[in-house]
Amino acid sequence: MSNEEILKKLSDAVVGGKVNDSKAAAQEALDSGMAALDAINDGLVAGMSIVGEKYAAHQVYLPQVLRSAHTMYAGLDILLPAIPKDDLGKMLKAATCVVEGDVHDIGKNIV
């Protein structure tokens, strides 16, 4: 399977909220030799971008966004440990915060 097909599977899993598909595609990406950062950025994050666009267009609602975020985290659980330590410096760093006692952490955790 080509890298483009694997990335599409990752993205589609996130958009569809399919946790098992996300895990399988993430493992498939690693097994194919794809860089973990590429799978994250071009697969999982691309899927969440689509979900964000659909949310802005009122095509999906918060429960679907939360399910997609959960699906993305499932893929991240497999891909993040596979990032070489040398590549960790290439990842962007950002500071975020939430108001104390706020239970709505979805935005903070996705970023």
pLDDT surpassing 90 at residue 109 = no
* pLDDT for 107 beyond 90: no
Residue 97, pLDDT > 80, answer: no
Q: What is the CATH number of the domain that holds 54?
A: 1.10.1240.10
The answer to whether residues 39 and 7 touch, using CB atoms and an 8 Å cutoff, is yes
Q: Which residues of 39-75 are buried (b: 16+ CB within 10 A; e: fewer)?
A: bbebbbbbbbeebeebeeeeebeeebbebbbebbbbb
Decide if pLDDT at 105 tops 60: no
Where does the pLDDT of residue 1 fall: very low under 50, low under 70, confident under 90, or very high at 90 and above? confident
Measured distance CA(57)–CA(63) in Å, rounded: 15
What pLDDT, on the 0 to 100 scale, is given for residue 83? 87
- Rounded Cα distance, 58 and 93, in Å: 30
**For residues 15 and 30, what is the distance between their CA atoms, to the nearest angstrom?**
21
pLDDT recorded at residue 86: 73
Residues 28-74: tens digit of each pLDDT: 999 999 999 999 999 999 999 999 999 999 999 999 999 999 999 99
Local confidence band at 84 (pLDDT 50, 70, 90 cut-offs): confident
Provide the domain limits for residue 67.
3-110
The phi, psi pair for 18, rounded to 5°, reads -105, 95
Q: How many domains does the chain have?
A: 1
